[in-house]
Amino acid sequence: MELKKYINAYIIGVIGSIILIVSEFFSWFSDYNLIEIYFITSSVNIEDSFLFIFPLLSGIICLIASILVIYKIELKVKSVIIFFVGLGFLIIFFVDYITQDIEYISNAGIGFYLGVVGFLLILFNIINILITIENRTEGN
């Protein structure tokens, strides 16, 4: 019965991670999705080509952290650290990619919005985990 309560709250992290992974396969600011841009830029040896797979890596890392929280509730603090590592990759990508294409923000595709929504859901999940850790320590 108690597991059901945790799954309802922590499923937000899983949903956010999946949305972030899916955003990799939709267009952001051009007609190409990020995985296509990665293959194009890596074939011509552009040095920043690896940045285009950061949302995918971030989504996978955050999905692992979300599953870890759902699987074993005692690992909340360690999973928050894993979430921060995953979001670090995403923030690096946002700072680098969005600042290059800031003039095209009005023409953003669905991938951009999915990426932002996934980021916000993961951030909300981290806040939720930290609040529940705070509430449990106050109760003792």
Question: Which structural domain, as residue segments, surrounds residue 68?
Answer: 2-135
Average pLDDT value for residue range 14-33: 86
> Which segments of 24-109 does DSSP mark as H helices, in order?
34-43, 54-71, 76-93, 99-100
Q: Residue 125: in which H helix or E strand, if any?
A: helix 110-139
| pLDDT of 1 higher than 60 | no
Domain presence at residue 24:
yes
Number of domains in the chain: 1
Q: According to the model, what pLDDT value does residue 19 have? A: 92
| DSSP bridge pairs for 27 | 33
**29-80 pLDDT tens trace:** 777 788 888 888 877 777 777 888 888 899 999 999 888 888 877 778 888 8
**Tokens read off for 64:** 């692992």
Asked whether residue 52 is assigned to any structural domain, the reply reads yes
Contact 54, 89 (CB under 8 A): yes
Q: Which residue has the higher pLDDT, 117 or 10?
A: 117
Q: How many CB atoms lie within 10 A of CB 126?
A: 20
Q: What is the pLDDT of residue 37?
A: 81
Q: If you average pLDDT over residues 115-140, what whole number do you get?
A: 79
Q: What is the pTM of this model?
A: 0.81
Is residue 140 in a domain?
no
Average pLDDT for the chain: 81
61 in any annotated domain: yes
